[in-house]
Amino acid sequence: MPGTPYFDERPKGLLTWPKLLRIGIPVAAISILAGWHFDVVIELMLVITGVLTILAITRR
């Protein structure tokens, strides 16, 4: 693959942006629609922010 730091193939299990977006956008859309339907959008966003903050701190 030209322009990549890998010599032969991508390492198995590597999460690339296209794969992440294919997974993340539908999950985010469904979560936001469900939150909007049940009137818990703010709470949903706070929980997502909290989880991502905890993940960022623990993975450091």
Q: How many CA atoms lie within 13 A of 46 on its CB side?
A: 4
Quote the percentage of the chain above a pLDDT of 90: 65
49 found inside a domain? yes
3 found inside a domain? no
Q: Pick from 40, 37, 59: which is nearest to 48 by CA? A: 40
Q: Render pLDDT for 3-46 as a digit per residue (tens, 0 to 9).
A: 677 667 777 878 888 999 999 999 999 999 999 999 999 999 99
Could you tell me how many residues make up the chain?
60
Give the domain range for residue 28.
Answer: 17-58
39 found inside a domain? yes
The whole model's pTM is what? 0.65
Helix (H), strand (E) counts: the chain? 2, 0
Cα–Cα distance, 27 to 37 (Å, whole number): 15
